[in-house]
Amino acid sequence: MGFSGTLVFCRSERPLAQAPVFGGLPQEVGDEAAGHGEWWPRAGGWRTAQVGGDWWDEAMLRDLVGWSGAPACLGFVFDSDVVYVVGLSPSGREWSVTLNPRVAAALQVDPPAGTDDVLGWFASPQGREAVARRLAAFEAEVPEAARDVLAWAGEAGFGAGVEVAAVERMLRSAPEVFAEELFADLVDVLGFPAAQAP
């Protein structure tokens, strides 16, 4: 069973669990972030918190950006298989991207109503074609998403010298084990400081 929940990335000089936006959430959410949920910090106050449940939404992302005065993003993780990421900057720049698109494509395709053998349908030519069409739609979004994400990183002071092609490759990649790793890879490829052991 993988992780399902939210990855919260923003700039903060203190642990993210102490950010005001956590104050409106149940106590256990802040406790989780303050405990094992905070990843190793990055230089300049850039932090990632991993929080279970579905407490976060895009309105809270706006609150986070307003509080931090810096770009931020949320990664909505499904069973460690896929991460749906949304980002926002103080200027209002918004973007979204799906990490691990091959698995996401299969998850977003529904077999025809009344299908008895769902696995068999996905293995059929019709099922494979349906998944391929959804994957092609994800692929078509990658070039624009890569430019948007890189411009967002630029507003945070990073990304100079990063090639759009490198970001595109990362967005098309698959995780070795956990999709959460792709979230860290995205932040890395954008030129944010590397995570450091506290």
C-beta contacts of 162-170 below 8 A and 24+ residues apart: 162/189, 162/190, 162/191, 168/142, 168/143
15-40 residue pLDDT tens:
888 888 777 666 666 566 555 588 99
In this structure, the strands spanning 46-52 and 72-78 are unpaired
How far apart CA 4 and CA 143 sit, in angstroms, is 27
Decide: 30 and 20 in contact? Cβ < 8 Å. no
Q: Which of 188, 170, 145 is nearest to 39 (CA)?
A: 188
Output the pTM of the full model.
0.89
68-89 residue pLDDT tens:
999 999 999 999 999 999 999 9
